[in-house]
A and B are shown apart, each in its own frame.
Chain A
Amino acid sequence: MDVSQYLEIFIDESGEHLQTLSDCIMELENEPDNKDVINEIFRAAHSLKGMAGTMGFKRMQHVTHDMENVFQEVRGDKIPVDSQMIDLLFKCLDAIEGYLDNIKASSSEGEEDNEVIIKELNSFIEKANGKKADDAAPEPAKEESAKEDTAKAAGDDEKKYLQVELSDKEREQLAAAKNGGLHIYGMTVVIQKECLLKAARAFLVFRAVEEFGEILVYRPSSQDIEDEKFELDFSFYMSSSEELEKIQTAAKNVSEIEQVFAEELSDFGQNEEKETKEETKPAAQGAPAEPPAKQAENKKSASAPAAKKPAAGKPATSRTIRVDIEKLDTLMNQVSELIIAKNSLVSIASTEEGSFNNQGFHDQIEYLERITTSLHESVMKARMVPIESVVNKFPRMIRDLSRTLNKKMDLVMTGEETELDRTVVDQIGDPLQHLLRNSADHGLEDTEKRIERGKSETGHIFLNAFQEGNNVVIKVGDDGNGIDTEAVKGKAIDRGIITAEQAETMSQKEIVNLLFLPSFSMAKKITDISGRGVGLDVVKSNIEQLGGDVEVKTSLGEGTTFTVRLPLTLAIIQALMVEVRDEKYAIALASISNIESVPVTDIKYVEAKEVIHLRGSVIPLIRLDRILDMEPIEDERDNLTVVIVQRGDSQIGLVVDNLMGQQEVVIKSLGKYINGNKIISGATILGDGEVALILDTNTLM
């Protein structure tokens, strides 16, 4: 059978297990005696092994198997956890990740056997035990047999295979197999309650057991199982020449399987009798009615142990389903359409007052407006995922960097639960990683220098994420050396990026911004970690592609902070509609700080550029009509309407002719044909069907 359709589940789940392992091993490094953590690691390694085995990735299975063995020993207090072991475990994770990457790329695990790691793992067991690694085996076996005991104790109720009603044909088949000298086994498999893809699990179970024999009878039918038309359990009869225990273990190794009840049906004729008994019941119609009732009862008893398991220390997983992002995109598009339709109703209602001057009509419009807004919010939220999935690999990275750079450092993260649009989260990983590496490599000083400067020996790196209005802000920084602006200046002059005269007049901030220019690397020597010239410019362009921006604050000797600002959503924004001449433009509300009416006489000139002085700050003015290539007009009004937009610390004032009000706008791309257009970030369709352009004020700064 083809397992490729389950490859995606496998990849996703393996990734999750790997993350759990990585987190736990980090924790273990700090608290080597924490039993809970050790158990968690054992569990994750075990699941990983089972999954790899089912999918036929033997090498991956091998590594995880040996890793599990080591933990078996740790669990039994036979070997202590030391740093050597932690290092080895991380190597294991890297190896497994390597397999996983191969699988992602080519659906095969590759050729690397990672024998060195396996040898080391085994040497751990041998060293600590003086015994062979294989000794680890009896214990899980014991555990399993214990489970079986409980299974038996649970009684025949759970052995649903005893209740299967066989058709004549099936009975014949079973009899034929039996006469052929094969064992007939009845099995009932109970899937964990939390399992989302029961059909996939059932498939994996079938695949596992079919290695040993042939499944003759399915209950419910194989078609129903495939269509997931069953509750938590399913039963089957199979014929095999192998021992029952082997088959049962294989079935149990499929992850998310709660229980496997099985026994050899030496005499299924007995079953037959039972069947016939039932059949001979007076009310022939009563027979089919009874089993469902029984089943319902069984369901209860089957789900009871399932419910117990999460309580046994495993953190309860939130109920989620995986949804193809394309489906959400479609949903989002439909919501967009709805909002456009709503906007057009609103505009009809406001323009044709006479014919629609009806209170009820306006109430309904308002109602519609509320619904579409909250619908939009819900869809948006459905696309939101916590940045956790991206940032939780960083502690491990910093730990490794700490080793390779031989600096003591500590990463503190806050706000991992901050949520962002999925597409943004997927792409924010690399830029953040780069900034962190930057902090570790260039930011933090050597230990000696830190002591010399009276700082703590351990360097501090932080990553703080939080929501701020319609943006998510992620601050990445360190308490290290800060950026030496003089050195930057010197280098920029050396490279011919600026002239010495230019350098004289540049502000601190402008100099720091030079770092974001392509191919400007400040690393004195090229290291593994950074300094290859692909640097901050890539970070910046990546973030800008997501509609965000990045800022630096630095103070020599005290540290550097990069502030990354990202929009919460990409598709629909609240905007201020403005008019410039007879053209309509939308400005994202989130970027607007205030709106002023400025008398023409208040305009001052700095370096021949128009500025206004507003509550202590000097704000450059931009005439939108000029920047948007409109014919100049003569009649200057006495008062200008100025929309002040903000990005980080800088502000500019946009001169517009008219304010039209606030509106929810759906951002549409201009397509691939029109280009050379950074000021316009997209277009939107207004209520009356007219098209308005969306100004990207960031490009004006």
Chain B
Amino acid sequence: MEAAKTEVSIKGSTKGNGKANTQKEIKQYIVIRIGGERYGIDIRYVDNIVRMQKITRVPKAQVYYKGIINLRGEIVPVMSIRIKMGLEDDVFTNASRIIILKIEERGTIGVIVDEVCEVVNLSEDEIEANTMNGSRLKDSFITGIGKSGDQLISLFEISAIVDERESM
């Protein structure tokens, strides 16, 4: 329950921004870190970011599902994006967070990340479509590369993350 109180609620404050900026084709991304790389998640999908909490293991579930959590009375499945992308298993630290994504029709899902860094605005010309041929498994989850200042951010294709696809 304490974790719920320390949630970073970003939805309300950013939604208005996103709308005002639509004519400039600017999208907002939450930048997260997994291992040494930085990834961006389209803020439209992000419902909430919560601290690491006890995850109840669900036997016989797909390997990349760590289990389920209680998010204010809702049962939310939590996925390890590391395992889904074929990386080594998560190590939970103080910086670890669960990003709660709300996806139309399929419902709410949590994704574990190593760290939440910042929110960036990317206009369309700062995003380069993913040209890599998908030889690396994790590239198939990437829709494009965003350039914010001098750093590169891999932008997640949310539907690919959520889709049923074995990483093994």
Report the Cα distance A693→B61, complex, angstroms: 13
Q: Which of B58, B60, B75 contacts A668 (CB 8 A)?
A: B75
A685 to B54, CA, bound (A): 13
Q: Are A674 and B68 in touch, CB under 8 angstroms?
A: yes
Interface: B76 (CB within 8 A): yes
Let me know if A673 and B58 touch, CB within 8 A. no
Contact in complex: B73, A340 (CB < 8 Å)? yes
- Which residues of the partner chain A approach B75 to less than 8 Å between Cβ atoms? 668-671, 683, 685, 691
Q: Is B155 an interface residue (CB 8 A)?
A: no
Q: Are B73 and A677 in contact (CB under 8 A)?
A: no
**Which range contains the number of B residues in contact with the other chain?**
20 to 34
> Is residue A628 within 8 Å, beta carbon to beta carbon, of the partner chain?
yes
Contact check, A675 vs B62: say whether CB atoms are below 8 A apart.
yes
Whether A673 and B73, one on each chain, are in contact in the complex, defined by CB atoms closer than 8 angstroms, is no
B77 and A670: CB pair below 8 A? Answer: yes
B61 pairs with A690, CB closer than 8 A: no
Select from chain A the residue with minimum beta-carbon distance to B54: A690
Is A583 part of the contact surface with B, judged by Cβ < 8 Å? yes
- Binary contact track B29-45/A, C-beta < 8 Å → 1, others 0: 00000000000000000
Q: Is the CB of A685 within 8 A of B70?
A: yes
Interface size on A, residues (CB 8 A): 27
Query: Does any Cβ of A come within 8 Å of B149's Cβ?
Result: no
Query: Does B107 have its Cβ within 8 Å of any Cβ on chain A?
Result: yes
Known: A689-B70, A690-B54. A679 touches B1 (CB 8 A): no
**Taking CB as reference atom, which chain B residue is nearest A340?**
B73
Selected from A629, A669, A673, A691, the residue in CB contact (under 8 A) with B65 is A673
B69 at the interface (CB under 8 A from A): yes
Interchain CB contact under 8 A, B59 and A673:
no
Asked, given contacts A340-B73, A685-B70, A690-B70, whether A670 binds B58 with beta carbons under 8 Å apart, the answer is yes
Q: B61 near A671 (CB under 8 angstroms)?
A: no
A524 in the interface (beta carbon within 8 A): no
- Say if the beta carbon of B52 comes within 8 Å of chain A: no
C-alpha spacing A691/B77, complex, angstroms: 11
CB-based contact A677/B61 at 8 Å: yes
User: Which parts of A58-115 form the interface with B (CB within 8 Å)?
Assistant: none
Quick check: B68 and A691 within 8 Å, CB to CB? Answer: yes
Taking a contact as CB atoms under 8 Å apart, the answer to whether A671 and B70 are in contact is no
Contact of B76 among A340, A630, A671, A690 (CB under 8 A): A671
* Nearest-Cβ distance from residue A660 to partner chain B, whole angstroms: 15
Which residue, of B61, B106, B108, B109, has the highest number of chain A Cβ atoms within 10 A?
B61
Residues of chain B touching chain A, judged by Cβ–Cβ distance below 8 Å, are 1, 54, 56-62, 65, 68-70, 73-77, 79, 106-109, 162, 164
What 4 pairs between A and B have smallest CB-CB spacing? A691-B56, A628-B59, A668-B75, A674-B61
Question: Which A residues are within 8 Å of any B CB, using their own CB?
Answer: 337, 340, 583, 627-630, 668-680, 683, 685, 689-693
- Can you list 8 contacts pairing A with B, beta carbon distance less than 8 Å? A628-B60, A669-B75, A670-B68, A671-B76, A672-B106, A676-B62, A677-B60, A691-B69
